[in-house]
Amino acid sequence: MRPIRVLVAKPGLDGHDRGAKVIARALRDAGMEVIYTGLRQTPEQIVAAAIQEDVDVVGMSILSGAHNYLFPRVVELLKEQGVDDVLIVGGGVIPDEDIPGLKKAGVSEIFTPGTTTSNMIEFIKSNLKREL
Amino acid sequence: MELIQRMLAGDKRACARLITTVESNPEEAEKILREIHPYTGRANILGITGPPGAGKSTLTDKIVKKFVDEGKKVGIIAVDPTSPYSGGSILGDRIRMQDLALHPNVFIRSMGTRGYLGGLSKHTKNALKILDAAGYDYIIIETVGVGQSEVDIVKTADSILMVMVPGLGDDIQSIKAGIMEIGDIFVINKSDLFGADRTATEVNMMLDLSSNMDRRPPVVKVTASKNEGIDILKSEIINHLVYLNESGKLNERRKNNMRTEIVELIEAELRKIVISSAASENKLESEVGKIITKEKNIYEVRDEFLKAIREE
């Protein structure tokens, strides 16, 4: 069985990525191959990397409040490219009232501050959209 | 295979999916590699190696930009280490190549070593063949950050850039065997730091001691983060490729690599036979006991196993 491949991405203008690095590290320790692409990624860059790296999961973290635009945009671009077997999850500073809309837009789960990494790992492992 | 047709037609998604398959499914991998074999052998393969933090990814980014400016297609395989504890990894080389992610003529793929110790992963060579068949003119393999002896890149690439930085040690380090012997081009990166001239001098002194070279590797000082020295480096890369072609060394090198690869493939199959034959009867376990109690020695046991396999 191959390792799960996850793209950890920071879309938008956040200036720091401590949280994303903590997540990347936790997923690494859970046996996953984590592709980390760094700060200030556009949705287009995230989708291009997800395709070239052939990931099972795209995990995005946003602190700056632009999640309602950026998360759905990534989902949309993946769809446009015909990618339908990637699990999309998000996290960061996301108000509770925004979560239903994001899920409706195609983000499978939103992990807000306080979520344990083991919850996230469990969610990813149980909700993959393709065979390993 | 439909995926292969799509990959040959330039579809990046198909290319990516094929790499995943050759990386993790040996049986499927063989089918794919048999089918794409006629399309391989056209790309120039550059290996970029050096210690962790030498600036390999940043340098790769800058070199690739020069190639794509000339209309070339470039594939990149960037290898990072896999955890010996969890089997996971953090593949972070793309951070330094953000501008290239969207370039239509660039394909970047990150790989974990997955327990392989030579500076590459077991499947780097196969991923390389996919990118080669996909029509990339140059394929750049960035090794993991290496120490002194991870030299597998020498069996994989046509040209090897050995990336060094000032301050890693004195001249005695540069005359040791191993990694310092495999560079076709020595790159002193971070040349804006104190000690860069001295590092270049030490490498040159080491090269002065090598008497059996057909071609003296150039030593190029660059500062990749500021894009300084990259033009000169690029012309040295081209010079080396021209030399390889004109001297017949390219064929020689590729034949040597092919020989190694065939032997490795045969070894892997034989290993499977040996393991299954030894394991099938729990014979190995009982023989181990006999060696420990001095009833037999290790070479007798070896010969018995080989005899049994030959008779199968």
Reading chain B (312 residues) residue by residue, the pLDDT tens digits are 899 999 999 999 999 999 999 999 999 999 999 999 999 999 999 999 999 999 999 999 999 999 999 999 999 999 999 999 999 999 999 999 999 999 999 999 999 999 888 899 989 999 999 999 999 999 999 999 988 788 899 999 999 999 999 988 766 776 677 888 889 999 999 999 999 999 999 999 889 988 777 899 999 999 999 999 999 999 999 999 999 999 999 999 999 999 999 999 999 898 888 878 766 667 888 889 999 999 999 999 999 888 888 887
Residue A6 dihedral angles phi and psi, to the nearest 5°: -125, 130
Q: Hey, of B90, B106, B107, which one would you mutate to test binding to chain A, going by the most A CBs within 10 A of its CB?
A: B90
Residue of B73, B232, B89, B207 whose CA lies nearest to B140? B73
In this predicted structure, what is the pLDDT of residue B271? 87
Q: What share of chain A is helix, strand, coil (3-state, %, to 5)?
A: 40, 20, 40
Amino acid identity, position B288: V
Q: Do A29 and B112 touch (CB under 8 A)?
A: no
A29 contact residues in B (CB cutoff 8 A): 83, 85-86, 88
Q: Do B86 and A29 touch (CB under 8 A)?
A: yes
Amino acid identity, position B246: E
A and B: number of Cβ contacts within 8 A: 88
Give B213's Cβ-side CA count (13 Å radius).
14
For residue B41, what are its two tokens?
Answer: 């052998």
Q: Does B102 touch chain A (CB under 8 A)?
A: yes
For residue B58, what are its two tokens?
Answer: 């940043």
In this predicted structure, what is the pLDDT of residue B2? 95
pTM as predicted:
0.94
Write out residues 1-60 of B within 8 Å (CB-CB) of A.
12-13, 16-17, 19-20, 23-25
Q: Does A37 touch chain B (CB under 8 A)?
A: yes
For residue A37, what are its two tokens?
Answer: 């692409």
In this predicted structure, what is the pLDDT of residue B127? 97
Place of tokens 């190995």: B284
Closest Cα of chain A to B278: distance in Å?
A: 25
Closest Cα of chain A to B23: distance in Å?
A: 8
Determine the 3-state secondary structure of A59 from DSSP. Answer: strand
Q: Does A54 touch chain B (CB under 8 A)?
A: yes
B18 contact residues in A (CB cutoff 8 A): none
Angle between helices B249-280 and B230-247 (to 10 degrees): 80
In this predicted structure, what is the pLDDT of residue B280? 61
Q: Hey, of B27, B106, B110, which one would you mutate to test binding to chain A, going by the most A CBs within 10 A of its CB?
A: B110
- C-alpha span between A19 and A92 (Å, rounded): 8
Amino acid identity, position A113: P
Q: Do B112 and A33 touch (CB under 8 A)?
A: yes
Q: Does A95 touch chain B (CB under 8 A)?
A: no
- C-alpha span between B75 and B95 (Å, rounded): 16
For residue A41, what is the nearest residue in chain B, using CA coordinates? B98
Q: Where are the beta strands (DSSP E) in A70-108?
A: 87-92
- C-alpha span between B67 and B231 (Å, rounded): 10
Residue B204 dihedral angles phi and psi, to the nearest 5°: -60, -40
Q: Do B110 and A53 touch (CB under 8 A)?
A: yes
With 0-12 / 13-18 / 19 or more C-beta atoms within 10 angstroms meaning exposed / middle / buried, residue B37 is exposed
Closest Cα of chain A to B42: distance in Å?
A: 21
Q: Calculate the alpha carbon distances from A51 to A82, B15, B141, B169, B201 in Å.
A: 10, 9, 19, 41, 44
Which residue of A30, A36, A83 is in closest CB contact with B86? A30
Q: Do B101 and A52 touch (CB under 8 A)?
A: yes
Q: How many CB atoms lie within 10 A of CB B208?
A: 9
Which residue of B20, B82, B83 is in closest CB contact with A54? B20
Q: How many CB atoms lie within 10 A of CB A58?
A: 26
The residue with greater pLDDT, B206 or A51, is A51
The C-alpha R_g of chain A, in whole angstroms, comes to: 13
Determine the 3-state secondary structure of B105 from DSSP. Answer: coil
B17 contact residues in A (CB cutoff 8 A): 54
List, in sequence order, every residue forming a beta bridge with B221; answer none if it has no partner. Answer: B188
- C-alpha span between B40 and B138 (Å, rounded): 12
List, in sequence order, every residue forming a beta bridge with B259; answer none if it has no partner. Answer: none
Q: Do B88 and A54 touch (CB under 8 A)?
A: no
In this predicted structure, what is the pLDDT of residue B78? 98
Determine the 3-state secondary structure of B55 from DSSP. Answer: coil
Q: Does A33 touch chain B (CB under 8 A)?
A: yes
Q: Do B110 and A35 touch (CB under 8 A)?
A: yes
Q: Which residues contact A52 (CB under 8 A, 6 or more apart)?
A: B12, B16, B101, B107, B108, B109
Closest Cα of chain A to B61: distance in Å?
A: 14
Residue A68 binned pLDDT confidence (cut-offs 50, 70, 90) = very high
Q: Does B211 touch chain A (CB under 8 A)?
A: no
Virtual CA dihedral for A128, A46, A78, B139, nearest 10 degrees? -90
Determine the 3-state secondary structure of B278 from DSSP. Answer: helix
